[in-house]
């Protein structure tokens, strides 16, 4: 697998506090990677290290297969980013604001109109930014981040503070950037609902630790892996399962099985039937992704 971003034991310490603890982040090419974690989890700190804005205490960052510590300038030329609310000259127009940034990159003039079109701000290109809504400002920020034609976009909570329609606009824009231009995107958020609707892969960070990293489908599967069994003589049935080495929990007359394959579940059912138990019900607990996320992060903070 080709990774656009790959960190190795990436760590940041502030005094005694471990803000980011040994992260091995892997972002495959072309993916929208949702970097998810509650407030204070270490998302912005990680992103700052990925952008070379902050030195890691230890560990390494590779972007496009190159070592960020050694080829920083070369790498940053191909990254677009939006960290915190970008600042603009309010009395200048959208076009003029982009022009100031274009000069720094040395991007061609035509690129300004291109990026304004991509983010849907062509119609207001000649309007002063001071009259822009927050959503328009965020789109302008994304336009600015696209000026250098990046292969990788890194966006720290780009929908923070936006209303629902603003959020949908940004989401559609990012999906379009990934689909039409093949740009790999890292987007951070503290809201799973948001990541769920845009990301193709997910990394969950809690208290500086990466506690989950996989495709969004795997996260959905993970959240549905609990099977509930209702049988007669349930407590005795549970003891039988335990004695045969099955990892089962028991609560309120219900036996529950976690993280088992279909074959494992069939085996458990067979064992119970062969021992004379009546199985009234075998059902999958419908846990929402949100519950899974909450459980993951609360389990992690219990450590």
Ligand X SMILES: Nc1ncnc2c1ncn2[C@@H]1O[C@H](COP(=O)(O)OP(=O)(O)OP(=O)(O)O)[C@@H](O)[C@H]1O
Site for ligand X, rule CB under 6 A: 14, 19, 37, 39-45, 190
**Contact status, residue 6 vs residue 62, Cβ threshold 8 Å:** yes
Tokens (6 digits) for 120: 């849907």
Could you say which of Mg ion, ligand X, none residue 184 binds, taking C-beta under 5 to 8 angstroms by partner kind?
Answer: none
Could you say which of Mg ion, ligand X, none residue 158 binds, taking C-beta under 5 to 8 angstroms by partner kind?
Answer: none
> Nearest approach, Cβ of 184 to ligand X (angstroms)?
20
CA atoms within 13 A on the CB side of 76: 15
> Nearest approach, Cβ of 153 to ligand X (angstroms)?
17
**Contact status, residue 80 vs residue 148, Cβ threshold 8 Å:** yes
Tokens (6 digits) for 107: 């991007």
Q: Which of residues 14-43 bind Mg ion (CB under 5 A)?
A: 43
> Nearest approach, Cβ of 200 to ligand X (angstroms)?
21
Give the chain's length.
Answer: 303
User: Alpha-carbon distance 8 to 228, whole Å?
Assistant: 39
Tokens (6 digits) for 277: 């138990």
- Residue with Cβ nearer ligand X (42 or 141): 42
- Residue with Cβ nearer ligand X (34 or 147): 34
- Residue with Cβ nearer Mg ion (41 or 101): 41
Q: Does the footprint of Mg ion cover residue 189 (CB under 5 A)?
A: no
**Contact status, residue 278 vs residue 231, Cβ threshold 8 Å:** yes
Could you say which of Mg ion, ligand X, none residue 65 binds, taking C-beta under 5 to 8 angstroms by partner kind?
Answer: none
Alpha helices in the chain (DSSP H): 43-50, 72-76, 94-105, 110-118, 134-146, 164-181, 192-196, 216-223, 234-243, 262-274, 289-301
> Nearest approach, Cβ of 19 to ligand X (angstroms)?
3
Among 44, 148, 209, 223, binds Mg ion (CB under 5 A): 44
- Residue with Cβ nearer ligand X (39 or 87): 39
**Contact status, residue 168 vs residue 159, Cβ threshold 8 Å:** no
Q: Which are the contacts of 69, defined by CB distance < 8 A and separation ≥ 6?
A: 60, 61
> Nearest approach, Cβ of 8 to ligand X (angstroms)?
19
Could you say which of ligand X, Mg ion, none residue 141 binds, taking C-beta under 5 to 8 angstroms by partner kind?
Answer: none
> Nearest approach, Cβ of 40 to ligand X (angstroms)?
4
- Residue with Cβ nearer ligand X (39 or 243): 39
- Residue with Cβ nearer Mg ion (11 or 85): 85
Residues that bind Mg ion (CB under 5 A): 43-44
């Amino acid at each position: 697998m080709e990774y656009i971003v790959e960190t190795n034991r990436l760590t940041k310490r502030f005094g005694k506090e471990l803000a980011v603890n040994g992260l091995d982040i892997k972002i495959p090419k072309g993916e929208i990677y949702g970097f998810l974690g509650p407030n204070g989890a270490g998302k912005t700190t990680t992103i700052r290290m990925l952008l070379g804005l902050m030195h890691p205490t230890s560990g390494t960052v590779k972007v496009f297969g190159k070592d960020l510590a050694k080829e920083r300038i070369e790498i940053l030329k191909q990254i677009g980013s939006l960290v915190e609310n970008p600042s603009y000259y309010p009395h200048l127009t959208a076009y003029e604001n982009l022009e100031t940034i274009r000069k720094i990159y040395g991007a061609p003039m035509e690129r300004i109109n291109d990026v304004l079109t991509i983010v849907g701000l062509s119609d207001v290109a000649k309007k002063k930014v001071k009259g822009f809504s927050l959503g328009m400002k965020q789109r302008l920020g994304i336009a600015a981040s696209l000026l250098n034609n990046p292969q990788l976009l890194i966006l720290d909570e780009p929908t923070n503070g936006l209303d629902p329609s603003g959020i949908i606009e940004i989401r559609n824009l990012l999906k379009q950037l990934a689909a039409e231009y093949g740009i790999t995107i890292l987007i951070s958020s503290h809201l799973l609902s948001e990541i769920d609707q845009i990301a193709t892969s997910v990394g969950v960070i809690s208290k500086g630790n990466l506690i989950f990293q996989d495709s969004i489908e795997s996260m959905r599967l993970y959240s549905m892996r609990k099977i509930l069994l209702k049988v007669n003589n349930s407590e005795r049935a549970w003891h039988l399962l335990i004695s045969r080495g099955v990892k089962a929990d028991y609560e309120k007359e219900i036996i529950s099985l976690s993280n088992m394959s279909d074959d494992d579940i069939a085996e458990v059912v067979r064992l119970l039937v062969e021992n004379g138990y009546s199985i009234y019900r075998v059902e999958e607990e419908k846990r929402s992704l949100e519950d899974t996320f909450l459980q993951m992060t609360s389990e992690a903070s219990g450590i």
